[in-house]
Structure 1
Amino acid sequence: MATANPNSALYLYGIVAAPGPRHLNVVGLDKQPVGVHVLGSLAFLYSQARQERYLASRANLLAHEAVLETVMNEGHRALLPLQFGLVVSGWDQVEQDLVKPHLADLLALLQRLEGKREVGVKVFWDPQQELQLGLEENPALKARRDAMIGTPLGLDAVVEIGQALEQLLEQRRQHIAQTFTATLGPLAGDRVEGELLTENMVYNSSFLINWEDEPVFAQKVEELDRAFQGRLRIRYNNFTAPYNFAKL
């Protein structure tokens, strides 16, 4: 177990229950070896900080995540990931600012995450394809839309048909979201809905599931893919540090 120089800056990755990993063989940011420092009932994953601030580049983010995933893969599944870029002056600061005021909450979070894992589902569509499918299922609206093609329209008519088409798309998006939540939600102990990050994203949720239930969850995701007949692109992340369920 490594011990940090008390006078050097530290980069923190996450927290597990003490004593933590005993033989951790992983490098973190700046290619620094990752060590474990115990403060009472908590064990902190850290490395020596070689910068005052860390750019949120792809390489740095991946290095941060790799440390957490390595520790989880080695059996420390109840892990509280700390935000990227957290540099502290020393262990006294960690104890005063984090451990003493929040110890009970941190221990409760660790207990909650025991035997759990976070998985994520993001769903993307082709809005033009989906709009066309919606119009085929709504002949009256399709006839209205088709009748306007090539015809000079006033502003009110343009706004009216535009709103009708937007409503149709939103109804279809809600149907997709509700179907995914209704299918996957019962398999999870908790769910966090994320923002729709692009125009083509129609669903973004993270689920907290039992570790051993992941194959069943993955099978349900595949069944949803088949149910929508390949219309959707589903990005399923079956293993990630539980950022969405480890917040104070």
Structure 2
Amino acid sequence: MSFYIYGILTLPAPQNLNLEGLDRQPVQIKILDDFAVIYSEAQQERYLASRRNLLSHEKVLEEIMQAGDRYLLPVQFGLLVSSWETVSQQLIRPHQEELTQLLAKLSGCREVSVKVFWDTEAEIQGLLAEHPNLKTERDKLVGQPLSMERVIQIGQVIEQGMSDRKQGIIDVFKGTLNSIAIEVVENTPQVDTMIYNSAYLIPWEAESQFSEHVESLDRQFENRLRIRYNNFTAPYNFARLRLTTSN
């Protein structure tokens, strides 16, 4: 038998869990040293990072946090162990101080995230409308025998203008939201139309304030941007435990 690990808690551990994990197995708690390990019995030798499995992993952590345990350290998806002695020897004891510090940092906090999208073509048109001379030069490219040097020059000016436009939006978001957060992690945008992708570690009780600021930004930019706000997730970006064990 092997065990699938979801995360680690401080003591006292939650009682009477009524949760299903991967393969619909009951979620259980194992006390090791000064920590509580969240696990379920593994039904596979290896779990693929499918959407279903990832959501099941995340759901376990979120439901435990929503039930009131806000001292939770999420473990990277896919960690399987064959014995609890392995967990103690290779995960808990060598990293006890680190685990304690991470759990203290996450105490009473939640992770939220903001992803910002724009319409690239609409932004180009907005840029040209604000700079009529640039639009005139761009329009000359159509059906005119311009030199390659001139074509490149106009393209570079438009590219720089779009970059400045994007950075201006990002600076507004940072100026509005970062002061509420304890810590901020800026992630790489996932698609071309995404211009900002950031995670925030905030005090649990500050979410309503943070949400109001996000709504204010949405109103400020009217229909120019599409904002995707996730108001609750396990704090992966700030203290995910990236460890492996040898079965």
- Alpha-carbon distance in 1 for matches of 2:146, 2:152: 10
Deviations 1:127-161 (A, max 9, x none): 00011111111222122112222213332222222
1:57 paired residue number: 50
Deviations 1:109-131 (A, max 9, x none): 11111111100000001100011
1:153 maps to which of 131, 146, 152: 146
Q: Secondary structure at the match of 1:202?
A: strand
Deviations 1:33-57 (A, max 9, x none): 0000011111010001111111111
Matched, 1:170 2:167: no
- Alpha-carbon distance in 2 for matches of 1:193, 1:82: 20
**Structure 2 alignment gaps of length 5 or more:** 242-247
Matched, 1:79 2:72: yes
Aligned-pair Cα RMSD in Å: 1.1
What is the letter of the counterpart of residue 245 of structure 1?
A: F
Tell which deviates more after alignment, 142-151 or 72-81.
Answer: 142-151
1:4 paired residue number: none
Q: Secondary structure at the match of 1:101?
A: coil
What's the TM-score once normalised by structure 1's chain length?
Answer: 0.94
- Alpha-carbon distance in 2 for matches of 1:142, 1:219: 38
Check whether the contact 1:18–1:40 (CA below 8 A) recurs between aligned residues: no
1:181 paired residue number: 174
**Structure 1 alignment gaps of length 5 or more:** 1-7
Check whether the contact 2:141–2:151 (CA below 8 A) recurs between aligned residues: no
Matched, 1:142 2:128: no
1:46 paired residue number: 39
After the TM superposition, list the runs of 4 or more consecutive aligned residues in structure 1 that deviate by more than 4 angstroms: none
Check whether the contact 2:17–2:28 (CA below 8 A) recurs between aligned residues: yes
Alignment length (residue pairs): 241
Check whether the contact 1:12–1:45 (CA below 8 A) recurs between aligned residues: yes
What's the TM-score once normalised by structure 2's chain length?
Answer: 0.95
Give aligned-pair identity as a percent.
Answer: 53
Tell which deviates more after alignment, 16-25 or 112-121.
Answer: 16-25
Once the two structures are TM-superposed, the CA of residue 247 in structure 1 deviates from its matched residue by 3.9
Instruction: Report 1:83-232 matches (<5 A).
Output: 83-232=76-225
- Alpha-carbon distance in 1 for matches of 2:16, 2:146: 73
- Alpha-carbon distance in 1 for matches of 2:228, 2:78: 26
1:3 paired residue number: none
- Alpha-carbon distance in 1 for matches of 2:131, 2:188: 29
